Amino acid sequence: MMFLAQLKLTLREKQAWFWGIFFPVILMVIFMVIFSGSSDEEFKTEVAIVDPSPNPASELMLSQISGLPVFEIKSGKPVTRDKAEEWVKDQEVDAAIILPESTEASSVFLVINKENEQGAAAQAVSGILDKFVQQANLMAAGASPKYALQYESITSGTNELDYTDFLLTGMIALSIAQGGMFGMVDLVEMRRKGLIKRLRMTPANMGIFGLSDMVMRLLFSIVQIILLSLIGVLVFGAHLYINPFTLIIVFLIGALSFNALGYFFSSFSKTTEAYMGVANICSFLMMFLSGVFFPIETMPEWIQPISSILPLTYFAEGLRESMVYETSIATGALWAGIGVMVIWGAVTFLLGSLLYKRKAIAADR
């Protein structure tokens, strides 16, 4: 009966439809466009070439650099150093390459904009040019390369998987988590209006009341995962290879855990502003520390231990395992992550129920 009452209250509230259904869609579309828009495009960088004193060595290097598909030479021919540096300063090119002034010269200069020194384009140009110089040194010494690096990638899923699939499952996890953490704000409003006080004067169990709200929010999460998955596949071309049983377990545990977290926030927040403040802080931290946008392994080592205790880390990984890699439920690492989410959900739900139960009725006025 409490569940049906919560469902009717929510369906009558038009804002619940926006924040529970449409806002996650808007959020996912924005982040998918930002982070996955160029994931399948071949990398190219625009550079300027300076040949201060044409000579056989510089002409050979120029022809070889021009043949590299990754480089797009601005204006299609060498320019003066002043012009090249002007382009670099104005960020019209990613870098300027200054060829040797003579056959005896031993340096090739790379000029980049200091503001973009740590950028992906500058790092890529530096790495490619360094490899190019090493090969030129071998040729100058009359040595022929003995070893060659051949690159291939493997995955526990299929060869069709790409970054879009990684990002989609992370965004689904983030949307469901935010729905749980922000969804219990109506309980704060009920306390402010005195409804919680009246409810506590009845035989109603506050733990059952909170659980009914969490289960009702679970329905919104089901709509979210179906809708977001369809948008990811049909609009952004994501690939999903689902293990249904694993997905059901991970989804139910994860969604209920974050609903419990929102229930806990509502138990000690006296105003809507206070509740939203706590939920925003937690959401912001987990958004960037839980591997939603990029693998945790790429983070600084001192941050990784923090990521390893956050529930969103294991929820995102669990959804990827069940929606992308078709991982069986009989996997130790998967159950370890589920265990962490269960602990978060159980502890926060019990603390929230305890706080609701022990608060004086006068505090609800």
From 186, 197, 120, select the one nearest 356 (Cα to Cα). 197
Is the separation of the CB atoms in 40 and 162 below 8 Å?
yes
Which pLDDT score, from 0 to 100, does residue 159 have?
A: 47
- Indicate the pairing of strand 95-98 with strand 109-111: antiparallel
Q: Is the pLDDT of residue 344 over 60?
A: yes
Check if the beta carbon of residue 172 is closer than 8 Å to that of residue 320. no
Average pLDDT score over residue span 177-205: 75
CA distances from 318 to 14, 54, 81, 101 (A): 32, 59, 54, 57
Per residue in 179-189, pLDDT (tens digit) is: 888 877 777 77
Q: Which residue, 329, 308, 310, 307, is CA-closest to 318?
A: 329
Is the pLDDT reported for residue 362 higher than 50? no
Please answer whether residues 340 and 334 qualify as being in contact, where contact means their C-beta atoms are separated by less than 8 angstroms. Answer: no
Q: What is the pLDDT of residue 155?
A: 57
Helix (H) or strand (E) holding 327: none
According to the per-residue pLDDT averaged within each range, which of 28-42, 123-137, 303-317 is highest? 303-317
Which of 241, 218, 219, 217 shows the shortest CA–CA distance to 169? 241
Higher pLDDT, 320 or 161: 320
Residue 48 Cα distances to 105, 106, 125, 339, angstroms = 20, 20, 12, 55
> Which amino acid belongs to residue 233?
V
Question: Could you tell me the residue ranges of all domains in the chain?
Answer: 2-38+162-364, 45-140
Cα separation, 177 vs 47, in Å, equals: 44
- The pLDDT tens digits for 207-238 are 677 677 777 777 878 888 888 899 888 888 88
Q: The whole model's pTM is what?
A: 0.68
DSSP single-letter state for residue 144: P
Task: Write the CA distances from 33 to 13, 167, 171, integer angstroms.
Answer: 30, 11, 12
What six digits make up the tokens of 48?
A: 């300027």
Q: What phi and psi, each to the nearest 5 degrees, are found at residue 31?
A: -70, -35
pLDDT band at 365 (very low <50, low <70, confident <90, very high): very low
Is CATH 3.40.50 the right assignment for the domain spanning 45-140? no
Q: How confident is the model at residue 9 (pLDDT cuts 50, 70, 90)?
A: low
Sheet holding 71-73, edge to edge: 71-73, 45-50, 95-98, 109-111
Tokens read off for 196: 């919680």
Q: How far apart are CA 273 and CA 271, in angstroms?
A: 5
Counted residue by residue, the chain has a size of 365
pLDDT at 135: 72
CA of residue 2 relative to chain centroid, distance: 36
pLDDT at 143: 67
The mean pLDDT of 192-203, rounded to a whole number, is 71
C-alpha to C-alpha distance for 259 and 224, rounded to whole angstroms: 14
